[in-house]
Structure 1
Amino acid sequence: MAACRMLSKTGCMVFKICSTDPAITHPTSALSVNQTTPAIVAQSAVRRLPRLALLLLCAAYVLSGFWGREPWKSQDLEALGYMLQLAQPAAGEIANWFRPSLMGQHDPQLALLPYWLGAVFMFGAPAGWEDAFARMPFIAMLALTLAATWYAVYALARHPAAQPVAFAFGGEAKPADYARALADGGLLALLACLGLARLAHEATPALSQLCFASLIFVGLSTLPRWRLHSGIAMGVGMLGLTLSGAPSVALWLGIGGSVLKALGQSDPTQARLRMLDLGLLALLCLLCITTAGYLDLWRWRVVPHTLLDLDVLAKLLVWFTWPAWPLAAWSLWRWRLQLSRGWRFPHLALPLWFIVVTVAATWLTGMSDRALLLALPGIAALAAFALPTLRRSLGALIDWFTLLFFSFCALTIWVVWIAMQTGFPAKPAANVVKLAPGFLPEFSVLTFGLALLATLAWAWLVKWRIGHHRAAIWKSMVLPAAGAVLCWLLLMSLWLPLLNFARSYVTMVQKVQMVTGTSPCLQYAGITQAQGAALLFHAQVRLQAAQAAGSDCPWLVIDERNLPLLEDKLKAWGWVQAAKAKRLGDRSESLLIFRPHPDKLSQVPSATASVNQ
């Protein structure tokens, strides 16, 4: 038996016993000596991250992007259109809550639950506040996703195989403190992921799928320690994911995760899965299958790919999951001795299973970043288990890279905003005019103060991080998470008017109303669902499919790109072009406005102004 002296981070001398005797391994672990944990953590390294600071960071991230933002094209606006059609059906019509439709077209994803939630909250909304009220359940779902990820990492870190090495003379991290520190790191890793920002702040089925997948994750992670809470989380998660348009993913995650959890029940000191747990899982799967079959939710949207498309998937994974994926890869390498029998160790097997299922779903459904969104909690969990194994040099590299990257991004946002307000520097101001012709900047004391406060908080955090303080294993994720939140908050405050101008349909709808006046009805032909939803929401009009010109609905709108296909039919129906409404943020998209030919209907008011500018 050989002994090697080690110096802990507290400066105290401790000894690590390196032995071939299995009895000297971690006392609560069933691992062999070749599968011992690579985590060597002292109690001083698991100090508590201030709860108030963590809650404020999460609140700033969750709320910015939901409040004060116009619906953006196209999925965000389309989802709002489905909710609006359910909450406010056209006169004489009854909304079909099991077949949501927009402009007579049903949702191809058949995501029922997110539309139900948004429509229910719209019922009690004051006039003009429908959008804000519809987003409330999605704000709650994003907050629930963050909370579920924290508790999932905490439960996985409590497993004996995930605990750090026991020191010969004591001083190693206590299990609860160690698990809490890793959970803080996992939550910070999730906040830092670049792909989470935009998609998690849209009122779309993608966010509801992320939320319910996170509930499945936390349910499996806490099983069988907290059976009641685990069962509720898994039941809500699997049923919610099924009703959010992903019944196949729900079954794969639930069944596969439960099998991995059952295979990992080898430690007699731990609570074991019982037949009652397996029976509950069987009932949940049966409920999901029955629900999906009864509501006709099964839709196979497999898109064939070749090996040449692997580079597209690789690029998507690299930027979408940055900066958590390098830490997740490092974690798999450092815990590789356990990974060889990963099904026995849930702190590795469960996150990896969620990643594999989600990446496979992304590959089979056209490599959509919305499908990849479900992998982020699993990647964040793996990134958390890399933190106790990071070398000091690697941690310093992460700190300096993220410091420079996010400071540069924040500086760029401020410089462009100053250029929009003052015209100096001239180059950024000219770029804004070129990319968003017609945009008029506006100044808000509230948004300026909020952005300035966030920037000062970032400067204080940088000073704290590079200063002298006690080590904590979550310290390497503080700057990435805070930097991502800072840049997102600056975009959603300083740049929000510009982004609304470029990505919303407000200006286009206003131009349509300049021609059509207070007409309560518009006919349409060849417009997208996003354009139709914009007319429903911003103009508050009733939409009717195009037909022969008549006095009951005297205006017709059409997407200019579809005019060559419909021009002859419109002439035969007696429609003539009256004006054109362009999106100032996108000159390639325009709506053509038609009125009846004077020979067909002489009493229809003619357009008095052109809206081509």
Structure 2
Amino acid sequence: MTFNSSDSSSNPAIVAQSAVRRLPRWVLLMFCLAYVLPGFVGRTPWKADDMEAFGFMLHLAQTFGPETVSWLKPTLLGQVDPHAALLPYWLGAWSIQILPAAIPIDLAARVPFMGLLALTLAATWYGVYALARTPAAQPVTFAFGGEARPADYARAIADGGLLALLACLGLARLSHEATPALAQLSFSTLLFFALANLPRKRTGAWVSSAIAIVGMALSGAPALAMILGVGGAIVMALDTGKPSALRARSVDVAWVLLICLATAALVSALGLWRWRVAYSHIFEIKSMTRLLLWFTWPAWPLAIWTLWRWRFQLQHLTANPHLSLPLWFVAVAICTTWFSGLSDRALLLSLPAMATLAAFALPTLRRSVSAFVDWFTLVFFSVGALIIWVVWTSLQTGIPAQPAINVARLAPGFTHVFSGAALVFALMASLVWASLVKWRAGRHRAAIWKSMALPAGGAILCWLLVMTLWLPLLNFARSYEPLVLKVRDMLGTPECVHYHGLTRAQGAAFEFHGKVKLIPTSKDSTDGNPQVAQCEWLIVDTQALSTLKKDVDMQTWQYQATVRRPSDNNEDIVLYKRTAPHVAKP
């Protein structure tokens, strides 16, 4: 035996220096770039939260006229934001105003959110690194030396944690939408990083925690920010590994508590508190389980493995912050998801902490388990990539015929357009995947992050293929643009259009894609009020037809047509045209 058996009885991490060789930084950087950029660049705003958030940014940036817009209470179609988020809309609006006009408006609005996703990835890496440097997380000391050095071990664990986060299926779509959910994810991860660094770099951790709590509160989750902040600070303060640092840890808790109190006062002054508890879904255990299984895959099996292999440390959880802190974040996120109507956007906040737990499974994996992960990942993502290529080939050539037929049925009216740039990027990604598989199958020195290389690479491959080869189809199916352009062709070039029953996302789409000035209409606003513009056209969402006669005087409107959204029959738009000039009541 080359290690201290007394230590190994409770510590499962037996890692030699040869197992913590560094993942090349350029490889990790390319992984992150290949994940961040696709999904932000080249697409239109999608329904519905993405389009709605974009609409708030447009109005704050005053893209649609000189009317006064309150930056403290932004509105869209005369309605305030139900999420009570301010900071994400400010960032998007400022970016629209600052960036050159040559950059498309929707891309300009997404630029800050690229930074937020990059911040999420960086904060995850440094947060895992800090936790891996704690004494309880260090591997067993060998009797004759040769164990992994603390910094190298922590770096390897952090590499594995970041790769585990990139591999999570639930991260891809939601992290590429310019919505408050991404801002909440970014600031909650920054808070996780700050709490993990409290024992090591207190000043930086204090500043980061203040930014994170205020940022999360202004992004629509003030209560969650304070629960995570105060609870996480207490978790770190209860670390019994260093009783001599009790005073310093008490100061840390006091600082976080002070920040939370100041943030609560700010939130109260701005009226941003919201009650979002939904009790109707708390007994839907199957739905919650199903959401957890696919959304957090493949991090959750490894997280469970971590809890099993580190089970002796769970008996003294307060002395093991590398387990207790991510467990706190995961538990709070799962409870929030459960009591908020099984919202996947709430569960999104659990992924960095879940990936952290998964990272600490890597030094304890048996060879058979690691081989199973590799083979399952290889088959799963290779089949996924093959399906994407087959559908794209069918759209281009008609061979095989069935995929193109299915697309024509699901998205009638879609015309595929060849993109040479998209093909080049897709081919490059596929070649890199083949090289990664060849590297993983070859003989090379052991590295504890190697089991996460294929899951992360496969997830990035499929995401990049979807956002290049399938991007025109996704823009057609998930965007309001086809519907808006069909309606606009029928309207001509009106000065204004009345609307009834449009959602905020639909309204933003008509303003952005159709360049239409929308004016509400009702019996009170159109009759006897000469200051209200009288538009020639009225557009109505079919879901609001039941209240149309009650809210709108239909005597002067005549039905013209029903315009169907190509990929969704539940969002049809009904057009009415004014048949007589408006006469004010005496």
Q: Does TM, scored on the shorter chain, surpass 0.5?
A: yes
Q: Counterpart of 1:579 in 2: which secondary structure?
A: strand
CA distance in 2, matches of 1:544, 1:295: 28
Distance of aligned partners of 1:128 and 1:525 in 2 relative to their CA distance in 1, 3 Å threshold: farther
SS at match of 1:201: coil
2:183 corresponds in structure 1 to 208
Determine whether 1:84 maps to 2:58: yes
Structure 1 position 556 matched with structure 2 position 538: yes
- The alpha carbon displacement at 1:567 in A equals 4.2
TM-fit CA distance, 1:17: 3.5
Which of 217, 220, 224 is the equivalent residue of 1:245? 220
Residue 585 in structure 1 maps to residue 567 in structure 2: yes
Q: CA deviation at 1:270?
A: 7.3
Q: Deviations over 1:21-78 (max 9, x none)?
A: xxxx4xxxxxxx86x3110000000000011111001001000000001110000000
Equivalence for 2:374? 399
The amino acid across from 1:56 in the alignment is M
- Structure 1 counterpart SS, 2:497: strand
Question: Which residue is equivalent to 2:42?
Answer: 68
Per mean C-alpha deviation after superposition, the further-off stretch among 271-280 and 583-592 is 271-280
| Counterpart Cα distance in 2 of 1:258 and 1:543 | 48
1:597-612 alignment, distance < 5 Å: 597-598=579-580
Aligned to 1:439: 414
1:130 is matched by which residue type in structure 2?
I
Name the CA shift for 1:373/1:309 in 2 (closer, same or farther; >3 Å): same
Q: More displaced, 358-367 or 193-202? A: 358-367
Q: What CA distance in whole angstroms lies between the structure 1 residues aligned with 2:415 and 2:32?
A: 32
Judge which range, 354-363 or 547-556, deviates more. Answer: 547-556
Alignment equivalent of 2:200, drawn from 225, 228, 231:
225
8 A Cα contact 1:580 1:590, kept in partner: yes
**Residues 70-115 of structure 1: per-residue CA shift (max 9 Å, x gap):** 1100000000011111111654621111111110111111011101
Q: Which amino acid aligns with 1:80?
A: F
Structure 2: how far apart are the matches of 1:314 and 1:174? 39
- Could you say which residue in structure 2 is the equivalent of 1:575? 557
- Amino acid of the structure 1 residue aligned with 2:509: A
How far off is 1:316 after superposition?
0.7
Residue 543 (1) aligns with residue 518 (2): yes
- Tell me if the contact between 1:260 and 1:344 (Cα under 8 Å) persists in the aligned partners: no
Deviates most, 536-545 or 491-500: 536-545
Overall identity of the aligned pairs, in %: 55
Shift of 1:118: 0.6
Is the 8 Å Cα contact of residues 237 and 249 (structure 2) preserved in structure 1? Answer: no
**What is residue 181 of structure 1 aligned with on the other side?**
156
Query: What is the rounded CA distance, in whole Å, between the counterparts of 1:531 and 1:16 in structure 2?
Result: 64
Which moves more between the two structures, 80-89 or 405-414? 80-89
Per-residue CA deviation, residues 371-410 of structure 1 (Å, 9 max, x unaligned), is: 0000001100000000000000000000000000000000
2: CA distance between counterparts of 1:166 and 1:491?
Answer: 46
Distance 2:328 2:249 in 1: 22
Report the CA distance between 1:564 and its aligned residue. 3.6
Q: Any idea what the Cα deviations from partners look like across 1:561-584, whole Å, max 9, x if unmatched?
A: 322431476553511122332211
1:360 corresponds to 2:335: yes
Deviations 1:222-267 (A, max 9, x none): 1121011101110110000111111111111110111111110432
For the Cα contact (< 8 Å) 2:293–2:300, is it kept in 1? yes
Aligned residues of 1:265 and 1:272 also touching (Cα < 8 A): no
Q: Deviations over 1:443-500 (max 9, x none)?
A: 0110000000000100011011001111100000000000000000000000000000
RMSD: 1.9
Q: 1:430 aligns with which of 375, 397, 405?
A: 405
Deviations 1:174-226 (A, max 9, x none): 00000000000000000000000000000000000000000110000011210
Aligned positions of 1:464-543 closer than 5 A: 464-543=439-518
TM-superposed CA distance for 1:546, in Å, is 1.2
Residue 518 (structure 1) shift? 2.0
CA contact (8 A) 2:85 2:219 kept: yes
Distance 1:553 1:394, change over 3 A: same
> Which residue of the other structure, out of 102, 105, 116, is the alignment partner of 1:141?
116
Match of 1:605 in 2: none
Structure 1 letter corresponding to 2:538: L
CA deviation digits over 1:109-149, x for unaligned, max 9?
10111011111111134167111111011000000000000
Structure 2 residue 138 is the aligned partner of structure 1 residue 151: no
CA change 1:205–1:551 in 2 (3 A) is closer
- 1:468 and 1:128, CA in 2 relative to 1: closer, same or farther beyond 3 A? closer
Cα distance in 2, alignment partners of residues 128 and 142 from structure 1: 20
Partners of 1:487 and 1:598 lie apart in 2 by 55
In structure 1, distance between residues paired with 2:230 and 2:500: 46
Which amino acid in 1 is paired with 2:442? G
TM-aligned CA deviation for residue 291 of structure 1: 1.2
CA distance 1:156–1:562, shift in 2 (3 Å): same
Residue 329 of structure 2 aligns to a residue whose secondary structure is helix
Query: Structure 2 unaligned runs (5+)?
Result: none
Aligned-partner residue type, residue 519 of structure 2: Q
Q: Is the 8 A contact 1:515 1:579 kept in 2?
A: no
**Which AA in structure 2 matches 1:123?**
Q
Aligned partners of 2:539 and 2:575 also within 8 Å:
yes
Task: Find the aligned partners of 1:456 and 1:136 in 2 and give their Cα distance.
Answer: 29
CA contact (8 A) 1:224 1:272 kept: no
Report deviation, 1:282: 2.7
1:439 Cα offset (Å): 0.6
Matched residue SS, 2:4 = strand
| 8 Å CA contact 1:39, 1:165 repeated in 2 | yes
Letter in 2 for 1:16: F
Indicate the SS of the match to 2:468: coil
Going from structure 1 to structure 2, the CA distance change for 1:152 and 1:551 (only over 3 Å counts) comes to closer
Alignment of 1:52-63 (within 5 A): 52-63=26-37
Deviation track 1:333-356 (CA, whole Å, cap 9, x = no partner) reads 100101122122100000000001
Q: Distance in 1 between matches of 2:70 and 2:469?
A: 41
Bigger drift between 292-301 and 231-240 goes to 292-301
Q: Which moved more, 1:508-517 or 1:349-358?
A: 508-517
Partner AA of 1:589 in structure 2: E
2:240–2:318 Cα contact (<8 Å) kept: no
Structure 1 counterpart SS, 2:571: strand
AA in 2 matched with 1:469: H
* Residue 92 to residue 398, structure 1, CA distance change in 2 (3 Å): closer
1:96-111 paired onto structure 2 within 5 Å: 96-111=70-85
Paired position in structure 1 for 2:393: 418
Distance 1:272 1:494 in 2: 57
Letter in 2 for 1:585: S
- Relative distance call for 1:136 and 1:599 in structure 2 (3 A) is closer
Matched positions, count: 575
CA contact (8 A) 1:89 1:95 kept: no
2-structure distance, mates of 1:282, 1:563: 50
Q: What residue is the counterpart of 2:172 in the other structure?
A: 197
Q: 1: CA distance between counterparts of 2:104 and 2:326?
A: 39
Q: Secondary structure at the match of 1:556?
A: strand
CA distance in 2, matches of 1:100, 1:46: 50
Distance 1:197 1:258, change over 3 A: same
Which stretch shifts more, 145-154 or 297-306? 297-306
CA distance in 2, matches of 1:127, 1:238: 35
Alpha-carbon distance between aligned partners in 2 of 1:482 and 1:581, rounded to the nearest angstrom: 42
- Mapped partners of 2:53, 2:439: distance in 1: 42
Contact 1:84 1:119 in 2 (8 A): yes
Work out which of the residue numbers 380, 383, 408 in structure 2 matches 1:408. 383
